[in-house]
Each structure stands twice: as structure tokens, then as C-alpha cells.
Amino acid sequence: MPLAPVLEAHGARIPAIGFGTSGLGDVRAEHVAAALKAGYRHIDTARKYGTERVVGEGMRASGVPRQDVFLCTKVSHENLHAADFARSVEASLAALGVDYVDLLLVHWPQKSTPLAETMGALAKAKRQGLTRHIGVANFNIAMMDDAIRLCPEPLVTLQAECHPYVDQRKVIAACRARGLVLTAYCPLARGRLQGDPILAEIAQRTGKTFAQVALRWLVQQEVIAAIPRSSNAARIAQNIGVFDFELSEEDMRRIAGLARPDGRIANPAGRAPVWDA
Ligand SMILES: NC(=O)c1ccc[n+]([C@@H]2O[C@H](COP(=O)([O-])OP(=O)(O)OC[C@H]3O[C@@H](n4cnc5c(N)ncnc54)[C@H](OP(=O)(O)O)[C@@H]3O)[C@@H](O)[C@H]2O)c1
């Protein structure tokens, strides 16, 4: 069973394909266990998803040793003051049934809480051994730079929406320049890529699925880890099978050309920052 290659960022070793778990109801412990049995060693959850408990159950059921799994969870925007932040981390660890996570992220920025306070709380969680690494999600580049400046510990990733329908070239370049991994969420545009004629044509020619082509396009950019979700065992296994073929430069360009102005999916009013693209 082949494992995904690992991306390095400020001491973190992040498997380039992870398993997404948003959507309680769709995601069950058996899916998490199936992902680990299929070779995933990176699991993405969040306090907000309500899936931490099933993620913990799935990890234990899989038989894969805890230390072999890169486990990420997140603190929601309502909990970015230091005391709330610490309580949220404790609740996450209890729900997951683990002593530490490998990556702890601020889930969304929140203007009403001083960023320095939140970054202090994030760094403290790392220094207490509650997480091995830290990062942010849904920050624009200027906010990411503020976070890097204000955080006493290095950030290893920006988690952001990234798939062929959204133009994230500036964000990818910014992560590359700062030595961060971009963790691509909604890497399949929540299923919207299905039926895309260009992805379908490349899939047919390479003998892969549209999802494998889209995921390959992400990981072939070398600083991107993608975290697709599926609640279907066959698709879970397929989605990690993206390391035995390569897209030509021409195909990489054609897929990049699919970006469209309305391609972004996660854009909550009042919470989303001004995006870089
Ligand atoms: N930080 C954030 O704010 C944030 C926001 C959104 C998501 N995320 C993270 O990113 C993860 C992934 O994003 P997402 O779950 O929103 O969407 P996604 O992974 O882009 O898409 C999931 C959808 O694609 C379908 N799918 C998966 N593999 C497929 C395949 N091979 N062929 C056809 N359809 C396939 C799934 O259906 P089936 O189940 O039927 O296969 C599901 O409906 C989340 O689960 C979460 O962990 C983070």
C-alpha cells in the first residue's frame, strides 16, 4: 500500500494527501478507518465539524499507530480569545481521545479579537505539547503575514480553498516564498468538478478519474497538500492514487485555465476576508 509523499515546512512533515472530514452524518468512523487502511496518514477535522469523536474512533479502529498519523484540528472563530482558545483545544483532545494533535489551526480570522492574543494562545498550545505544529486557515496573504509576525512559533501551513475553479496562484506563490505548505480544502470543489470536459478528457487519456486528475494537479505544484473527503470506500482509495502518473506542462496549464470568477465555494458573509484573487 503506497503512502503519499511528505511535504516539509518549518520542521513539520505533512503528507501530501489527507482525508477531509467535514459534514457529520456523511463522515463516520468507518470512513476514517477505511482512509487509514487505504494509506492516508493525514486526517483533517475541526471543532466546528462535530467529527472529532468519529475521527478518534476511526483512528483507533484502523490499527494504525497514533504516531504514524498527522492529525489536524481547528479552533473556531468564536473561540479566539486566549481562555476560550485553551478550552477549545482541551475539548478537541478529549473528543479525539488523544494527548496531542500534529497540527492546530485557527479556523477563520476574527477581527474583533486581537490577532496577537490569538497567536499567543496558538503558540502556547504548541509549547504545552498539545500540538506539534500550528497554522492558520482562511487568512488572506496580508493577514498571514501579520500572523507570522505576531506568532512566537513558526506557522507551517495556510489552509485555503484550492481547486481548478478558483485562481489561487498568488496564495500558492506566497506560501512557497514563506516556506509554508498550502493545505488545499474543497480540492474537488465539493463534487462540482465532476463532468468538467477538460478534466474528463485528461482523465480518459491518462486512465485516471476526474478527481485523480484534479488532485494530481494540486500535488504536482509541490507545495500543496490536498484533503479530499469521501464517504465511499472505493473513492477514498482512488483519491490517494495520484502518485503513479504525471500531468504534462500543457495539461497543468489547461487545468489552471479553468479558474472562474464564481469558482469560490466557502465565502461566508461577514467572516470571509478580502481574498487575494
Ligand atoms: N478550513 C476550512 O474552512 C475548510 C472548509 C471546507 C473544507 N475543509 C476541509 O477540507 C475537506 C475537503 O473539502 P470538502 O469536504 O468541502 O469537499 P471536497 O473534498 O472538495 O468534495 C467532497 C465531495 O466530493 C465527492 N467525491 C469525493 N471523491 C470523489 C470521487 N473520486 N469522485 C466523485 N466524487 C467524489 C464526495 O462525495 P462522496 O462522499 O459520495 O464520495 C463529496 O460530496 C473537508 O472535509 C474539510 O476537512 C476545510
271 within domain boundaries: no
| pLDDT confidence of residue 24 | 64
Q: Count up the domains in the chain and report the number.
A: 1
90 within domain boundaries: yes
Q: Which of 186, 194, 212, 236 to mutate to test the pocket of ligand 1 (most atoms within 8 A of CB)?
A: 186
Residue nearest to atom 35 of ligand 1 (CA): 191
Cα of first residue to Cα of last residue in the chain, in angstroms, is 38
The ligand 1 site (C-beta within 6 Å) comprises 20-22, 44, 107, 137-138, 159, 185-191, 194, 209, 211, 227-232, 235, 238-239, 266
> What backbone torsions phi and psi does residue 55 show, to the nearest 5 degrees?
-65, -45
8 within domain boundaries: no
Asked if 79 contacts 87 with a C-beta cutoff of 8 angstroms, the reply is yes
CATH of residue 30: 3.20.20.100
- The alpha carbon of 216 and the centre of ligand 1 are apart by a number of angstroms equal to 15
- Residue 160's domain comprises 13-256
4 within domain boundaries: no
Q: Does the reported pTM lie above 0.85?
A: yes
Picking from 118, 124, 94, the residue whose alpha carbon sits closest to that of residue 106 is: 118
List per-residue pLDDT tens for the chain, 277 residues long. Answer: 779 999 999 999 999 999 999 976 778 999 999 999 999 999 999 999 999 999 999 999 999 999 999 999 999 999 999 999 999 999 999 999 999 999 999 999 999 999 999 999 999 999 999 999 999 999 999 999 999 999 999 999 999 999 999 999 999 999 999 999 999 999 999 999 999 999 999 999 999 999 999 999 999 999 999 999 999 999 999 999 999 999 999 999 999 999 999 999 999 998 999 999 7
Residue nearest to atom 48 of ligand 1 (CA): 185
Tell me 2's DSSP state: P
262 within domain boundaries: no
The one catalytic residue among 49, 100, 165, 185: 49
- The alpha carbon of 105 and the centre of ligand 1 are apart by a number of angstroms equal to 19
Picking from 150, 245, 253, the residue whose alpha carbon sits closest to that of residue 205 is: 245
Residue 49 falls in the annotated catalytic set: yes
Picking from 262, 35, 72, the residue whose alpha carbon sits closest to that of residue 159 is: 72
In Å, what is the CA distance from 134 to each residue of 73, 157, 224? 10, 7, 16
267 within domain boundaries: no
94 within domain boundaries: yes
130 within domain boundaries: yes
Residue 131 has which C-alpha cell?
500540538
- List, in order, residues 6 or more apart from 40 with CB less than 8 Å away: 4, 15, 17, 18, 19, 236, 240
Atom of ligand 1 nearest to the CA of 209: 31
- The alpha carbon of 117 and the centre of ligand 1 are apart by a number of angstroms equal to 32
